[in-house]
Amino acid sequence: MLKVVDGCGDLDFATWVADGDDSGLEAVYRTLTGHLEKRGAVLLLERLLGRLDAAPAALAARGRALGSAAGAPPTFVDGRPCSDAGLAGLEVVAARPASADAAETVSFRGRPCGRLVHAADADYLGLGDVARLLESRPARPEEETTAAIELVAEVLSSLGWSYRDVQRTWFFLDHLLDWYGPFNDARNLAYTRLGVLGADRNVTIPASTGIEGRGLAGGHVVLDVLACRPRAGRPFAVRRMVNPLQNEAPEYGSSFSRGLALDTGSCRCLLVSGTASIDGQGQTVHVASFDRQAELTLDMVESLLRASGARLADTCQATAYLKHPGDLVTLRQILARRGLDRSPLVFVNADVCRPELLFELELTAMTTAG
């Protein structure tokens, strides 16, 4: 099932949920392409989630559907389905260029890695699986984290951008429970060197997801990035979203914002980080109870959205990560009670950042300006 949410500003969102049947991916891409053409939009970020052995057929289907318009390759991450299917789903962020020549494929070291779009309200840059561009993979996973972040900064610099323009990151980490602490330490140090983490309160730390996953290129890290910055003369503001029910992640050593709100002249886009059953002191709560962890996670996300003038019903794209795929039936029941059973939501079987956490939810929501 392909669900497309036409945004109120420059961005549109498309989500395909495989629901146990991934045989129709080529038709999904053709439908998506037709919709984007009608909207005058182009692919900005694109992520396929599924078993790695399903990647060749999925990428071949994409290639047949898109042809010469394929552009930069999508990120394919080992986001295991909660069923026997090969794919869990497809997540796309699209942007509408302000003119016919206002979009370009970004290449680095001769390899395409993303898309730059100059839209009406802002400029947008999407980079996919940046770590695959590394000339060599460091042996230690935390060293690869550092190298991947520094490579993002290098790509941004080549375009006249900086890491301070980054609003959203996705880190997929192979066997993350073995090294999540060193990952946080490496990101903290890299962000400090780049001026993202430190004494300057005017600099916003990107919203982020750090979850289990592997990429096609091997290694320990898959990193996707969304950056944006204002166009001259257009209203644009980035502010940190504050959750009254949780403390800030840097207080317990993790460098990400709970969420960031992007306000343009026509739209407010809310980028909500991966959120789990963690209380106001940074402690895991409801250990061993999936139901209560899921309910509290939704409470946390809802609180974050309400503080920024939005609701769960404003969700335009979301990913749910379940430690145990057997909990999906329970999750669907909870989502139905909360009015989210028809939301564009991909379900993935993955370890969360702490062994006792059973569920994590990330989402993007959108409302009109003000």
Q: Are 301 and 272 in contact (CB under 8 A)?
A: yes
pTM (whole model) above 0.75: yes
**Which amino acid, one-letter code, is at 133?**
L
- Is the separation of the CB atoms in 312 and 305 below 8 Å? yes
The structure tokens listed for 341 are 């059973």
Low-confidence ranges of the chain (pLDDT < 50): none
**Helices and strands per DSSP (H, E), number in the chain:** 6, 17
DSSP one-letter string for 248-302: -GGGGT---BSEEEEEESSEEEEEEEEE-SB-TTS-B-STT-HHHHHHHHHHHHH
Please report the domains of the chain, with CATH numbers, ordered by start residue: 2-368 (3.30.1330.40)
Q: Check residue 201 and give its pLDDT.
A: 67
* 3 state DSSP class of 49: strand
Q: What is the distance between the alpha carbons of residues 277 and 279, in angstroms, rounded to a whole number?
A: 7
Q: What is the pLDDT of residue 370?
A: 60
